[in-house]
Structure 1
Amino acid sequence: MSAPTGFVPPPYPQDRLASLKATADALPGGVVDASVGTPVDPMPEVVAEALISATRAATGYPPSIGTPGYRESAAGWLERRFGVALTPDQVIACIGTKELVASLPHHLALRDPSRDTVLYPAVSYPTYAMGATLAGLRAVPVPVDDRWHLDLDAVDPADAERALVLWLNDPANPTGACATPDEIVRNAEWGRSRGIVVASDECYAEFTYDDSGAPIAPVTALFAGLDGILSVHSLSKRSNLAGLRAGFVAGDPTLVQYLGEVRKHAGFMVPAPVQAAGAAAFADDAHVEEQRARYAARRARLAPVLAARGYRSDGGPSTFYLWLGSERGEDGWQMA
């Protein structure tokens, strides 16, 4: 076959680290792999029991939008965690959140082809930009300030006028920055006032801390209301279920209904046993409290070890990431 003349996927970031992992693994003690945010702790027992029980009865196709039990449990968690009341009809299941992040620009561009730009934080999860690229749209980074918070005043008005989607991410991956309630409402209203769909990736919402490492209440773009807002959540980090692929998107009823119909046609389905496990996970907060304390303790232990070797923590205090700077001026690849 002839060489492609169109899009060629760039090297996947984690694939580029393979040789470094092999080198580290050959050293005494082996590799400590901090290259990707994958859970290493056990699946909660209440979730495992629900998964096993549901697997025995899983013979038919599950609903693409999610089972009533899954959507009800997700809506119940939103109200407990954030104090926002949504109906199950304003929630649909997604296969983790990465596929939703990657596919959302394409699906929204089919709905509104007059806009061709995706705005996303300049320092962020790479799939925001890749989702725009896969949809044939422009990926335009939004500058961040010295605290890693979005600086929407710096967006070129021409880019704002063309924007289809504005991605928010709170707390932020990988910087650990966390907005105040007023700040996330301002950001959401900035997008809404310009006719931009505001998609807020909040999959680390259970791991928000102050500078001392004490837990604090998370924020959501849904504080600004539902109109034009989509809130995206996952069980991968919250409940150590990255291997099951379960999440949801909730918010604007018209957008949620549209995405649900698209997903039916595309056959995007979270397997039925996974939905049963997910419903059990969203209904249980005790295992999350344990995980939240576990991550805080790990951050507190690792930060001074790295600092003693010249790697300071430059990011915010939330998520389970440490966003590092080098006292020797090394970039990320040199540090790795």
Structure 2
Amino acid sequence: MTAAGFVPPPYPYDRLNDLKADILERHDSIVDLSIGTPFDPPPDAVIAALSSSGTERSYPPSVGTPEYHAAIARWFDRRFDVVVDSAQIGATVGSKEFVALLPQFMGLRDPGRDTVLFPAISYPSYAMGARLAGLRAVPVAMRPDGGVDLDTVDPADVERALLLWINSPGNPTGGLDDLGAVAEWGRRHGIPVFSDECYIEFTWSGRGRTILEHGHDGVVAVHSLSKRSNFAGARAGFYAGDPEIVHYLREVRKHAGLLVPGPVQAAATVALDDDDHVTVQRARYLERLQRMADVLSDWSGTRVPMPDGAFYLWMPTDDGWDLTRRLAQDGGALVSPGEFYGPDGAGFVRVAVVQPDDRIDLVVDRLEKSSRD
């Protein structure tokens, strides 16, 4: 008999499949608000670049093309007044693979440490990346404003920490973290900080902020065009920051064969140089958030707060699964129970306002009818 190895847990969103049949017993269609996948179109110029670059003929550079790097540097400078050199930038195949593989690569760099710290309420891949690497995944308690409470980290875990993940604006809560304080904490303890900033363009309380505003030493910012430019299907992202860490990751990722397709890099370059489509998308999401927050507050009898960032409503409730079922029954909407994002999220559901306006309108109409009935 062989010893039992790693058994992957059920993928969180697969646990919603039974609810789909329940919805179709009551409604003529499902409005999927469970996953943060964009439905609005990317700019025409981006699609044109995707189909006309001629770069499909040869292997693209794993680290990213010079043109892609230049567009990334321009974007950091234009949007955040941050200067980043090409040698401090690497390309990613979206950002999820980077999140999932990073602990393995960083563990090879520093085998004396075995712990990945991450927000207690967060994107599941932070913890899963640690487990896939055979490392300890240790959640960090959250403050009421949605940031991590680093004062609560056990000193023994600090000593063993290989890296710290933060996410601002955060998924699922929409909270903003004190990036300067987090960067300083990481430097003080010699722990690299990886700041997932994929929702940075959808910051509602103040302007978007990157951890690189507080210096580059010991920190790496991780970004994606999936949300910013409705480009999730193309898988384009990047990381930037500490020169030594970025150089190491660029080199090890070459050996792993992680390549962003040439046409995707060409299209991403065009997308990063255009801010107008982001302004349009911001307006769409903000209107949908407000509309859904209002109708969900009226329907549930509990105020649903607007987030400080991202495009999710983090809706409080006594029982996340019960509210998920009620939204499926009354609104024909598929949403995510908060426990998908950690045990501390059990008293919430996450509503992703990603569907086009006519689909959002359909959920609103159904819930308003349910309230009248």
Q: Which category of TM-score, normalised to the shorter sequence, fits these structures?
A: over 0.9
User: Partner residue of 2:57?
Assistant: 59
User: In the alignment, which residue of structure 1 is the partner of 2:220?
Assistant: 230
SS at match of 2:56: coil
Q: In structure 1, how many angstroms separate the alpha carbons of the residues matched to 2:89 and 2:321?
A: 38
Contact 2:145 2:176 in 1 (8 A): no
Distance 1:86 1:51 in 2: 25
Partner of 1:213: none
Structure 2 residue 203 is the aligned partner of structure 1 residue 203: no
CA contact (8 A) 1:117 1:138 kept: yes
Q: Which amino acid is the alignment partner of residue 162 of structure 2?
A: L
50, 66, 69: which one pairs with 2:67? 69
Q: 1:314 to 1:140 in 2, by over 3 A?
A: farther
Deviation of 1:67 after TM superposition, in Å, equals 0.6
Greater percentage in helix: 2
Aligned twin of 1:325: 316
Q: One-letter code of the match for 1:276?
A: A
Q: Matched residues, percent identical?
A: 54
The residue number in structure 2 matching 1:79 is 77
Unaligned runs of at least 5 residues, structure 2? 326-373
Tell me the distance in 2 between the aligned counterparts of 1:24 and 1:227: 50
CA–CA distance in 1 between the matches of 2:148 and 2:305?
16
Stretch deviating more after TM superposition (22-31 or 112-121) = 22-31
Cα deviation 1:179-227 (Å, max 9, x = unaligned): 3xxx2111111012111110000000000003xxxxx311111122111
In 1: Cα distance, 2:141 partner to 2:161 partner: 15
Runs of 4+ in 1 over 6 A off after TM superposition: none
3-state SS in 2 of match to 1:313: coil
Q: Secondary structure at the match of 1:103?
A: helix
Shift of 1:334: 4.5
1:5 matched to 2:4? The reply is yes
Determine helix, strand or coil for the equivalent of 1:16. helix
Is residue 233 of structure 2 the alignment partner of residue 243 of structure 1? yes
Aligned equivalents of 2:88 and 2:21: distance in 1?
46
Letter in 2 for 1:121: P
| Shift of residue 315, structure 1, vs aligned partner | 6.5
The secondary structure found in structure 2 opposite 1:43 is: coil
Check whether the contact 1:21–1:33 (CA below 8 A) recurs between aligned residues. Answer: no
Which one of 286, 291, 305 corresponds to residue 295 of structure 2? 305
Q: State the alpha-carbon separation in 1 of the partners of residues 321 and 122 from structure 2.
A: 14
1:61-140 to 2 correspondence within 5 Å? 61-140=59-138
* Residue identity opposite 2:307 in structure 1: G
Q: Distance in 1 between matches of 2:190 and 2:233?
A: 36
Instruction: Supply the AA of the counterpart residue of 1:222.
Output: L
State how many pairs are aligned: 324
Cα distance, 1:140 vs structure 2: 0.4
The residue type paired with residue 254 of structure 2 is K
Match of 2:152 in 1: 154
Q: Does 1:28 align with 2:27?
A: yes
| TM-score, with structure 2 as normaliser | 0.84
2:212 partner amino acid: L
Residue 313 of structure 1 deviates from its aligned partner by 2.3
Q: TM-score, normalised by structure 1?
A: 0.93
State the 1:158 CA deviation. Answer: 0.8
Q: CA deviation at 1:29?
A: 3.9
Report how far residue 331 of structure 1 moved. 2.1
SS in 2 for 1:308: helix
Check conservation: 1:200, 1:232, Cα contact below 8 A: yes
Alpha-carbon distance in structure 2 between the residues aligned to 1:162 and 1:41? 43
**Which runs of 5 or more structure 1 residues have no equivalent in the other structure?**
211-215
Q: CA deviation at 1:175?
A: 0.2
Residue type of the partner of 1:266?
A
Shift of the 59–106 alpha-carbon distance from structure 1 to 2, 3 Å rule, reads same
Match for residue 269 of structure 2?
279
Letter in 1 for 2:153: V
Q: Cα RMSD over matched residues?
A: 1.4
Shift of 1:3: 7.4
Cα deviation for residue 87 of structure 1 reads 1.0
TM-fit CA distance, 1:57: 4.3
What does 1:214-225 align with in structure 2 at a 5 Å threshold? 216-225=206-215
Q: Which moved more, 1:45-54 or 1:265-274?
A: 45-54
The answer to whether the 8 Å contact 2:219/2:241 transfers is yes
Shift of 1:314: 4.8
Separation in structure 1 between the aligned mates of residue 100 and residue 89 of structure 2, nearest angstrom: 18
Q: What SS does the aligned partner of 2:228 have?
A: coil
Distance (whole Å) between structure 2 residues aligned to residue 291 and residue 138 of structure 1: 38
Answer yes or no: is the 8 Å Cα contact 1:235–1:246 preserved in 2. Answer: yes
Conserved? CA contact 2:116–2:163, under 8 Å: yes
